[in-house]
A and B are shown apart, each in its own frame.
Chain A
Amino acid sequence: MKRLFWILCGLSLALLAWGFYEAIYIAPTEATMGDLQRIFYWHVPIASSALIFPYVNMVASIAYLFMRRTNHALSQKLDALANATAEITVLYAGLGLCTGMLWGRPAWGIWWAWDARLSSFLMLFLLYVSYLLIRRFSASNQAPVIAAVLSVFAGIDVPIVFESITWWRTQHPAPVLRGDGDLDPTMKVAFLWNMLAWFLWGCTLVWARYAIVRREQQIEERAAMEALEA
């Protein structure tokens, strides 16, 4: 398993480098925005990945809620996975917001607009910050259950985030892969490479955090066992 992790880590780093090369040197310059548009190759993959990890978090949390009485070992793993994905969601949503603001300042002339997509993305970020907060504040024996329940609620909120762009009129550009947006084939290739790279990098980070959380759980269990035996 350890070797597999390093393979994934190396692969995603190589893909990140390749994606960077594609986005900066291969993809053509966009007609109206110029080089400014190139941030799209990082902003959209990061922001889209930030919408995938919450679902992993929700699935792991639901599975945890079902398993916690019957299969202790598996439920501990699921809880660690939920914890790790929530942290990476916060990281990616934060990065998505930052890159979006970097683009918004020159393109719109303002750092932040209270339009639907931006505010709902901020909401996604806040939701998972509150998830991490509740994990920290809850008593340690209930924190997994309470966090799992909150994760289900947050997961229900995510589709509202995703559909918001069609519900509300908005100044955020139309989604490029579905809907009316149109993308040059070379741009699409560069975009897809970056999409893959950032998604795999996210998975690498989740795996790393998962391994650390598992170690922490094992240390805690061992300490509890020792206290019982002493």
Chain B
Amino acid sequence: MTYLRIVWLHLRKDLQLEWRSREAVAGMLFFTLLIAVAFAMAFDPTGYPAMARQMSGGLLWVGLLFAATTSLNISWERERRNQVLDAHRMSPAPPSALFLGKALANFLFVAFIEAVLAPVFIVFYNLHPLGEMKWFWLILPLGTWAIVVNGTFFAALGLRSRNRALMLPAVLFPISIPALLGVTQATTAVITGDFEPGMWVRLIFGFDVIFTTACLLLFGTVLNAE
């Protein structure tokens, strides 16, 4: 079997599991929606459209980051049941394929949340983006991948630790801060139209390339950590 085929099998398995239970996507969707509502109550975005433009990019990404951490733990929890993880460890398939399949599945879940929630954000925060909207086609996938690739990796890192739920954000947030800064700045740039998002998009792209490489190289070590 070629490497890509193994990745595809892992991806299909994760999509199928999610399709049957729908727990990760539904949970994330509701969680992000609640964050949007809570912040709207705190800041009254319709009364201050300029402030809403400044803030909504950051709120969207912080909401997604929080929501992603809840679902990332679920995605590895599935592998723990019935010692599936030990089976993965013994199988001759490359460990990085397992990681890549799962990261791609998580990417698709978060991308789905974005597709549903972006219009909701625009309605709730009464947004009229002043910059060029086409940048979003770059910013959203790159930013989502930045969160998901590290998140999937660190969720696996904490798999066998005592307080998993606490450990993922404690490790993921500090590492992801450059990416979070990049995506929120790029999103704010597009919404306000004040500055060019190009530099920030390059930053996210560099972050993605570097950390995807590191994750793929080190995942085998994490899976077999004894």
B160 is an interface residue with CB less than 8 A from chain A: yes
A157 is an interface residue with CB less than 8 A from chain B: yes
Min C-beta distance of B176 to chain A, whole Å: 10
B160-A152 in contact (CB<8A): no
Interface of B, helix, strand, loop or mixed by DSSP: helix
Interface of A, helix, strand, loop or mixed by DSSP: helix
> Of the candidates A126, A139, A149, which one forms a contact with B218 in the assembled complex, judged by CB atoms under 8 Å apart?
A149
| A: interface residue count bin | 20 to 34
Contacts of A119 in B (CB 8 A): 177, 181
A130-B170 in contact (CB<8A): yes
Contacts of B170 in A (CB 8 A): 130, 133-134
Contacts of A156 in B (CB 8 A): 210-211, 214
Residues 158-210 of B contacting A (Cβ, < 8 Å) = 158, 160-163, 166-167, 170-171, 173-175, 177-178, 181, 203, 207, 210
Contacts of B42 in A (CB 8 A): none
Contacts of B221 in A (CB 8 A): 65, 145, 149
Contacts of A142 in B (CB 8 A): 160, 225-226
A145-B226 in contact (CB<8A): yes
A133-B167 in contact (CB<8A): yes
B171-A145 in contact (CB<8A): no
A153 is an interface residue with CB less than 8 A from chain B: yes
Contacts of A123 in B (CB 8 A): 174, 177-178
B85 is an interface residue with CB less than 8 A from chain A: no
> Of the candidates B161, B167, B173, B218, which one forms a contact with A152 in the assembled complex, judged by CB atoms under 8 Å apart?
B218
